Amino acid sequence: MAVLSEEQSMLRDAAKAWTQEKSPVRALRGLRDSRSDHGYDTEAWNEMAQMGWAGVIVPEAYGGSEFGFLSMGLILEELGRTLTASPLLASGLAAASALTLGGSEAQKAEWLPKIADGSTIATLAIDDGPHHAPERTALAATASGDGYRLNGRKTFVLEGMAADLLVVSARGPKGIGLFLVRADAAGVNRTRLQLADSRGAANVTFEETPAQALAGGAGLLDQVLDRARAGVAAEMLGSASQAFETTLDYLKVRVQFGQPIGAFQALQHRAAKMFTDLELSRSAVEAALAALDVDSPEAPELVSLAKAKMGDTFHLVSNEMVQMHGGIGMTDAHEAGFYLKRARAAEAAFGNQAYHRDRYARLQGY
């Protein structure tokens, strides 16, 4: 755990207390079983918004608290521990970053205060196909009057059904850029995805849909994606840590051959290796968030490092969680399956390990 300021410690403690009490893993199970439209609990979201979480990275001038990315990461980590479904990452982190970095004065004034108080849900729409390849988007933006028209499709749009505002990557006359689209605009068609991890997401098509451009082009897209990636990594850090701790507890209580299975060296060494990977991953995630807070030129490398390392670790820990729980870990009644399913969805979000290793190598010139 990074060295925290007093405000950050309080924020983390509040997030821990709230998620443990109000949003345990069975809340996600309930959402899944009730086939919720949005994929998250709107009442829970209102409580989160009242605590100011949606405005943590929003500038004070637009109603936020400007606490920064490491602070946002602390909240996401706690949400990740209990697999809490919420639009915090898509709206309060990713879309809020897009507007803060690329919005005009008018765009910021219109949207940021509503994002910061949670009354508007915004999200990113980036991937055209099943693999994250933002530099190859084919969705077309053509100039029209003082704005643009979008034509094409996006998939795997987080909180896509709940969103009021979409921040869409598209190929325009001046190359790739980000565009603002109201979810109720003409030509927007959304299809709810039923994902294995039970979270809310949608496929979205655009047909002559009116849009406004954000300033900054491909550079802005990269910056915004890095903020989203670091946020997902922070959430994954919480989920993987909890998956590990739950498994470790089980190793101490499950008795076979007359002793706790955690006494067997074959399992002890695997547990110690998971702990090693978790500590390394924690360092990488915290370093990435801290780099974003100071706008370090190394941020892109550090974010790709964090997303790739955290992805490998969560992948391993979620697999081991099922294996070490044995038969009970295969049952839907146990939590292990929820962590396993979430792991794969989070790994894929905004670029999986292969994507980020390739990006890291490209950034280093080989």
Partner 1 sequence: MADLGGADGPAFRVQVRDWLKANYPPELRDPARTDPEAVWGGRAFVGSDDPQSVWMRRAAERGFTAPAWPRDYGGGGLSPAQTRIVEQEIAAGGYRTPLASFGVWMLGPVLLEYATEDQRREHLPKIVRGEIRWCQGYSEPGAGSDLAALATRCEDMGDHWLINGQKIWTSYADKADWCFCLVRTDTAKKHEGVSFVLIDMTSPGVETRPIRLISGDSPFCETFFTDVKIPKGNLVGKVNAGWEIAKRLLQYERQNISGGFGGGGGAGGIAGDLGKIAADYVGLDETGRLADADLRSRITRNKMDFRALQQTIARVAAESRASNGPNAATSIIKYAAAAMAQERSELMVEAMGAQGLGWAGDEYSPLERQAVRGWLRSKGNSIEGGTSEVNLNVIAKRVLGLPDPK
Q: φ, ψ for residue 335 (rounded to 5)?
A: -75, -20
The two structure tokens encoding residue 35: 């086939």
Smaller CB separation from partner 1, 194 or 364: 364
Span near partner 1 by CB under 8 A; candidates 22-30, 144-152, 155-163, 281-289? 281-289
Smaller CB separation from partner 1, 136 or 273: 273
Alpha helices in the chain (DSSP H): 6-22, 25-33, 42-50, 69-81, 96-102, 105-116, 217-253, 265-293, 299-325, 336-348, 353-363
The answer to whether residue 218 forms part of the interface with partner 1 (CB under 8 A) is no
Provide the 10 A C-beta neighbour count for residue 219.
12
Smaller CB separation from partner 1, 2 or 218: 2
The only residue of 205, 217, 254, 360 in contact with partner 1, by rule CB under 8 A: 360
Span near partner 1 by CB under 8 A; candidates 84-92, 107-115, 134-142, 352-360? 352-360
CA distances from 194 to 47, 69, 126, 219, 350 (A): 26, 30, 19, 32, 19
Q: What is the DSSP string of 129-162?
A: SSS--GGG---EEEEETTEEEEEEEEEEEETTTT
Which residues in the 222-261 window bind partner 1 by CB under 8 A? 248, 251-252, 258-260
Nearest approach, Cβ of 237 to partner 1 (angstroms)? Answer: 12
Distance CA 365, CA 206 (A): 37
The answer to whether residue 273 forms part of the interface with partner 1 (CB under 8 A) is yes
Smaller CB separation from partner 1, 33 or 358: 358
Contact of 86 with 79, CB cutoff 8 Å: yes
Nearest approach, Cβ of 347 to partner 1 (angstroms)? Answer: 15
Which residues in the 96-125 window bind partner 1 by CB under 8 A? none
Binding site for partner 1 (CB under 8 A): 1-3, 248, 251-252, 258-260, 262-265, 267-269, 271-273, 275-276, 279-284, 286-287, 305, 308-309, 354, 357-358, 360-362, 364-366
